[in-house]
Amino acid sequence: MNTQPDPRTKAAVKAADRAHVFHSWSAQGLIDPLAVAGAEGSYFWDYDGNRYLDFSSQLVNTNIGHQHPKVVAAVREQAAKLCTIAPGFAVDVRAEAARLIAGRTPGDLDKIFFTNGGAEAVENAVRMARLHTGRPKVLSTYRSYHGATAAAINLTGDPRRWPSDTASAGVVHFWGPFLYRSPFHAETEEQECARALRHLEDTLAFEGPGTVAAIILETVPGTAGIMVPPAGYLAGVREICDRHGIVFVLDEVMAGFGRTGRWFAADHWDVTPDLLTFAKGVNSGYVPLGGVAISAEIAATFDERPYPGGLTYSGHPLACASAVATIEAMAEEGIVENAARIGEDVLGPGLRELAERHPSVGEVRGLGVFWAVELVRDRATREPLVPYNASGEANAPMAAFTAACKKSGLWPFVNMNRTHVVPPCTVSEDEARQGLALLDEALTAADAHTV
C-alpha cells in the first residue's frame, strides 16, 4: 500500500481542483476538499501520509471495499475487449449482469432496466409506474432521499428538496414509521406500525387511491437516518398497494447489495415490491451503474408498446463487467454474511455500549453495516444536537465531532444531527472495533454540547 507523502502532487491537484472543479452540494468558496492519493479495502489516504478508516463507504457505496482486485481486473479485461456499445444491442456482459441481479432480487423481479445511477433509476421507476397504471400521483415519505434529478429530488422528503426549482406536480408526502421521533406519538413498535399504516390509508383516502400510480419507500430509509421499519409495516404497505392497484416501489439504492446483511433489505421482511431500484453496492461504484428490477406484470406492459426511456450509456459494458465481478466476489467471499456478522457481533453491541456511556447519544439503530448514531443535546427531551438543516455556526457541534473523527484517522458519514456507521461490507472485525474506539473518542467532543 503506497502511503508515501507527496506534497508537490498534492499542491498541483488542489490548485487544479480549486480552479476548475465545480463540486456538488457545496458553496464553492467555502470548501477545502481532501486530496486523495489512493485507497485499498477499508482505507483511503491523502498525499501527506494520513490514512483514513472509511466508515462512510464514500457515499455508502463501496460495499466491496476499495480496489477489489477481481473487480479492477474485470474492468481492465472488459476495456480491452469492448469498451462501449449502444443499449440496443445484446451483449454477453450486460446479459450476465442482468441474470445475476435478477437471480438475487426478491420474487418475480426478473427483468433489469439499467441506468447510470440511483436517481435515474428512481426517475424510470416512477415513469414505469405512471405508464403501467395510467395514473398521475406518486406518494413518498418525509425523512427520505431518492436522488437529485427532477422527479427524484421532488420525491425526497428532506430539506434538500426546498431549493429545487422543478415542479413537484403529482408528488404527495406522508410520514413513515420512526418510533424514536414518532410522528404518531406512539410508544411501542406495534403502535407505530399500526398508526403509520392508518395514516397512509387516510392520506390515500383524501388523495383518491385511483389517482395514485405508486408509493415509493426506501426499504430502510438511509440518508435520512437509517430507520429500520417495524415488523409488519412493509407487508402492510404491500397489502394497501394490492388493494388499490398501486405500484409498490422499494428504493434499495443504499440498502441493497449486502448493506443490511442480506442481498436486499426487503429480504428481512419477505416483501416483494413491483419495482426495486438499485445502484451503489451493485458494483460498489467502480463504474457508474444503477437500475430498476421489474416484476413480470409491469414488464409485460411494455411487451407490445415501447418503453420511452433510456440514455446513451444505459447498461454500459464496463459498468456491467464490474457488476458481474462484484456480485461473484460477494458470493464467493461471503461478503453479505460478513456484513450480517459484523453488525450482530461487533457494531450493534459496540454502538449500544457507546450509547450507554455518552450523554450525546440519543439512540443507535441499524442492521448489518448500516447504523445511525442519533446525537442529542438532551436525552430526556430528545432535542437534536443541531437543528435540522443547520448551517454555519448552528452546526458547530457536528463540525467539531467530524473534525475529531478525521484527526484520529476515522472518516465518518455525518448528516444533520447524526453520524452513520457505514463501513464497507468487507470490513474486518479488527477494523470495526478500531473504528468504534475512534468513534468513542470523538463522541466526547459531542458530549461537550449536551445540557
Among 186, 193, 249, 253, binds ligand PLP (CB under 6 A): 253
Angstrom distance (rounded) from CA 313 to CA 236:
37
What are the b/e assignments for 231-244, b being 16+ CB within 10 Å?
Answer: ebbbebbbebbeeb
Of the candidate spans 98-106, 114-122, 186-194, 317-325, the one that interacts with ligand PLP by CB under 6 A turns out to be 114-122
- Stretch of residues binding ligand PLP (CB under 6 A), selected from 116-124, 127-135, 194-202, 438-446: 116-124
Q: For ligand PLP, which is the closer residue by CB, 327 or 346? A: 327
Residue number, 118 or 350, with CB nearest to ligand PLP: 118
Per-residue string for binding with ligand PLP, 380-399, x by CB under 6 A? Answer: --------------------
Contact segment (CB under 6 A) with ligand PLP among 86-94, 126-134, 198-206, 218-226 equals 218-226
Q: Which triple of cell numbers denotes residue 320?
A: 456491467
CA dist 404 to 347, 397, 441, Å? 20, 11, 8
Pairing of strands 43-46, 290-294: unpaired
Instruction: State how far the alpha carbon of 168 is from the alpha carbons of 121, 173, 251, in Å.
Output: 18, 11, 19
* Residue 117 contacts ligand PLP per CB under 6 A: yes
* Residue span 49-88 as binding mask against ligand PLP, x where in contact by CB under 6 A, dash where not: ----------x-----------------------------
Please identify, using beta-carbon distances, which residue of 101 and 361 lies nearer to ligand PLP.
101
Closest CB to ligand PLP among residues 123, 192: 123
For cell 427532477, what's the residue? 150
Q: For residue 420, what are the β-bridge partners?
A: 372, 413
> Which residue of 65, 118, 230, 362 would you call a contact of ligand PLP, by CB under 6 A?
118
Stretch that binds ligand PLP, among 127-135, 139-147, 412-420, 427-435 (CB under 6 A): 139-147
Torsion sign, CA atoms 278, 283, 285, 289 = negative
Q: At what angle do helices 429-447 and 348-357 cross, to 10 degrees?
A: 20
Please answer whether residues 156 and 147 qualify as being in contact, where contact means their C-beta atoms are separated by less than 8 angstroms: yes
The only residue of 218, 274, 363, 431 in contact with ligand PLP, by rule CB under 6 A: 218
Site membership for ligand PLP, residue 281 (CB under 6 A): no
Per DSSP, the three-state class of 406 is helix
* Binding region for ligand PLP (CB under 6 A): 59, 117-119, 122, 145-147, 218, 222-223, 251, 253-254, 279, 290
